Amino acid sequence: MYKTILLPVDLNEEGFSHVAAEHACALAKMSGATIHLLNVLPTTQMPMVSAHFPTSVLQEIRTSTQTALQQFAKKHITDDIPVQLHLMEGKPSKEIIKAADKYKADLIVMPSHKRAKLELAFIGSVAARVVSSASISVMVVKPQ
């Protein structure tokens, strides 16, 4: 069925990303797939941000995010599922699509956030952009 599942997570909203992880783990167990756990940092790709933070601060952000990603994997992905951790920087929807291509994913499982309609009109939805741009299947897990 699936060989490679991409699981992009928002570590700032772990309380919801774990639900997407549960779905990805169930599918990985059924099909023997590897999960590629991904977090996308917007920091250095935004000139206004990178101009105001020293390189040491940006490296500290990367390091702490990598640690948080490891903790998320340990907490939410069982030991019997192969998992690889990835940290990318840029616009989340674009980086998720790039990661899916790079790691040859055949499924993306991702959370969708509860956002107000007005907020969506201004910022758009990462999940909606991924669904419309992906060349593979995307499972969007809604809040329960």
- Decide if 36 contacts 88 (C-beta within 8 A): no
Structure tokens at 12: 């700032």
Dihedral sign (CA 38, 44, 45, 48): positive
Q: In CATH, what number is assigned to the domain containing residue 81? A: 3.40.50.620
Read off φ and ψ for residue 34, nearest 5 degrees: -95, 140
Q: pLDDT digits over 34-74, tens only?
A: 999 999 998 655 566 556 667 788 789 899 999 999 999 99
Rounded distance, CA 75 to CA 70, Å?
A: 9
pTM above 0.75, yes or no: yes
Q: Which of 99, 77, 78, 97 is nearest to 87 (CA)?
A: 99
Banded model confidence at residue 112, pLDDT cuts 50, 70, 90: confident
Q: Which structural domain, as residue segments, surrounds residue 105? A: 4-141
Domain count, the chain: 1
Rounded distance, CA 36 to CA 105, Å?
A: 8
